[in-house]
Chain A
Amino acid sequence: MSFLGTAWLVARKDLLIEFRTRSAFFAAIVFALLAVVIFHFAWDPTTVTALDLAPGVLWVIFTFSGLLGLHRSFGVEEADRAIDGLLAAPIGREALFAGKAVANLVFVGAVQLVTIPAVALFYDLPLLGGAMLPGLAAVAALATIGLVAVGTLFSAMTVNTRLAELLLPMLALPFFVPIVIPAALSTARLLAGRPLGEIRGYLEMLAAFDLVFVTACTLAFPYTLEE
């Protein structure tokens, strides 16, 4: 079975489970929407404009709702020790990781697809002009790849430790910071109507991070599964 074929099979399995139960996806969406509302009321609108607030709100929501999905990623394999079935199957470990990561990517992407219009709506953001949407898409894509790569690996590592739900955010959030900083800064620039050229540096940094950490996490993943 080829690498891509295996990865796709694993991703499809996870996505099918999620699609049929919809539990984590709905939890993440509801969390995101509630967070948008709470953030709106947490700041005085006369002192902080929505435009200043929106990038931060967006990226905090993506990070934390992403963590919800990431925890579930290997959490589902805990029931009935389903992970043993996956490990016994003749599939490469890297392909297993790729499949899990792709499923998480789709999950977080779906949450973003709902959250961005919601934030645009509630914060009255001028999303439909000029370079904004393609720029946002590029930032979100690059940043999410990094988030998912690191998050999937840590999900595998923390799922059967004590304090798993605390340990995943504790380990993952420091690695999210070099993603969130350029992502939020680019988003702020884009929402202020700046041209795409101004965020090139940030995009390059995100791309570099993705290259390094997707490789590293894929290579490191087999070490987290040995028995």
Chain B
Amino acid sequence: MTTPAARTAAPTAPSTARGGPDLLLAAAVIAVAAALVHAVYFTPTEAVQGPAQKIFYLHVSSAIVALYLGFGLLALTSAVYLWLREERVDRMAESAAEVGLVFMSVVLLTGPIWAKPIWGTWWTWDARLTLTLFTWLIVLGYLTLRNAIEDRAQRARYSAVLGILAGLLVPFIHLSTTMFRTLHPQPILLKPSAPSMPHEMVMSWMYAQGAFVLLFVALLRARYRYGEERDRLRALRGEEV
């Protein structure tokens, strides 16, 4: 196995430079910090809810990133994988799932923190919260399924099927907020008519949203690179990738 020829032949390496700090991630973290400082200190406080409302900038930004970017990308890469059968697409799906899960966890943690002073309870089983929680569980299931299958091609295929189905489920989640009268605030941003918030708050949200999107992209790239390295290492060791 370790013939002189094999030892001296260099393993093919991806062409992207690997050394040095992740500047994109650093920039993203700074952007998020700046946006949140702007939201807390430089944005007017909402009249009815008081300072607790400011978690909106963190909560809604994460939710939009998690649901529409994270899970959207998961569903898209799952569909593209079944079409192209390209290993890199499957790796992107895996990365999108993990990073999306992190942002969704932020949503599920910040929501109750806001809810306790405003609603008086940490959690309620209304439709949107329940289905959001179950989306989180679906992605957890996706990652568990990936862990449970050892054959790489089968794992990629099955994950892709689950990813597509999970993506199809998300519209039913959004539908539930408009169909069922619930305790959760009705959409004030992503709805057919104009946002019903004062201009300064909309701007603060847009800064926060932009920063979170940047953070998502940076984390996605970092996670994808980790996946690449991991798979390369396994291939070099002769293990099943």
Instruction: Report how far A181 CA is from B180 CA in the complex, Å.
Output: 10
Chain B residues near A42: list those with CB within 8 A.
Answer: none
Please tell me if the beta carbons of B134 and A177 are within 8 angstroms of each other in the complex.
Answer: yes
Chain B residues near A150: list those with CB within 8 A.
Answer: 165
Please tell me if the beta carbons of A181 and B134 are within 8 angstroms of each other in the complex.
Answer: no
Q: Is B203 an interface residue (CB 8 A)?
A: no
Q: List 28 A-B contacts (CB under 8 A).
A: A150-B165, A153-B161, A153-B165, A157-B145, A157-B161, A157-B162, A158-B145, A161-B145, A167-B145, A170-B137, A171-B145, A174-B137, A174-B141, A174-B169, A177-B130, A177-B131, A178-B169, A178-B172, A178-B173, A178-B176, A181-B127, A181-B176, A205-B172, A220-B161, A220-B164, A223-B82, A223-B157, A223-B161
Assuming A167-B144, A209-B172, what are 5 further A-B pairs, CB within 8 angstroms? A161-B145, A175-B138, A175-B165, A181-B127, A205-B172
Closest Cβ neighbor of B158 among chain A residues = A157
A188 CB, nearest partner CB in chain B, Å: 13
B180 CB, nearest partner CB in chain A, Å: 8
Please tell me if the beta carbons of A213 and B165 are within 8 angstroms of each other in the complex.
Answer: yes
B82 CB, nearest partner CB in chain A, Å: 6
Chain A residues near B162: list those with CB within 8 A.
Answer: 157, 171
Chain B residues near A158: list those with CB within 8 A.
Answer: 145
Q: Is A125 an interface residue (CB 8 A)?
A: no
Which listed residue (B127, B138, B149, B160) contacts A174, Cβ 8 A?
B138
Instruction: Report how far A87 CA is from B145 CA in the complex, Å.
Output: 23
Please tell me if the beta carbons of A171 and B164 are within 8 angstroms of each other in the complex.
Answer: no
Please tell me if the beta carbons of A205 and B161 are within 8 angstroms of each other in the complex.
Answer: no
Q: Is B179 an interface residue (CB 8 A)?
A: yes
Instruction: Report how far A145 CA is from B52 CA in the complex, Å.
Output: 43
Q: Is B189 an interface residue (CB 8 A)?
A: no
Q: Is B135 an interface residue (CB 8 A)?
A: yes
How many A residues face the partner with a CB closer than 8 A? 28
Instruction: Report how far A80 CA is from B144 CA in the complex, Å.
Output: 27
B128 CB, nearest partner CB in chain A, Å: 11
Chain A residues near B161: list those with CB within 8 A.
Answer: 153, 157, 220, 223-224
Closest Cβ neighbor of A227 among chain B residues = B154
Contacts known (A161-B149, A174-B141, A178-B176); A217 close to B160, Cβ less than 8 A:
no
Chain B residues near A213: list those with CB within 8 A.
Answer: 165, 168
Instruction: Report how far A181 CA is from B126 CA in the complex, Å.
Output: 10
Q: Is B13 an interface residue (CB 8 A)?
A: no
Q: Is A216 an interface residue (CB 8 A)?
A: yes
A202 CB, nearest partner CB in chain B, Å: 9
Closest 8 CB pairs of A and B: A174-B134, A161-B148, A174-B138, A178-B172, A220-B161, A162-B148, A171-B141, A170-B141
Which B residues from 173 to 216 make CB contacts under 8 A with A? Answer: 173, 175-176, 179-180
Which A residues from 160 to 191 make CB contacts under 8 A with B? Answer: 161-163, 167, 170-171, 173-175, 177-178, 181
Chain A residues near B149: list those with CB within 8 A.
Answer: 161
Please tell me if the beta carbons of A174 and B135 are within 8 angstroms of each other in the complex.
Answer: yes
Please tell me if the beta carbons of B179 and A201 are within 8 angstroms of each other in the complex.
Answer: yes
Which listed residue (B148, B157, B169, B175) contacts A175, Cβ 8 A?
B169
Please tell me if the beta carbons of A226 and B157 are within 8 angstroms of each other in the complex.
Answer: yes
Residue among B127, B140, B141, B176 facing the most chain A CB atoms (10 A cut-off): B141
Instruction: Report how far A157 CA is from B161 CA in the complex, Å.
Output: 9
B135 CB, nearest partner CB in chain A, Å: 7
Chain B residues near A201: list those with CB within 8 A.
Answer: 179
Chain B residues near A205: list those with CB within 8 A.
Answer: 172, 175, 179
Which listed residue (A171, A173, A181, A216) contacts B168, Cβ 8 A?
A216
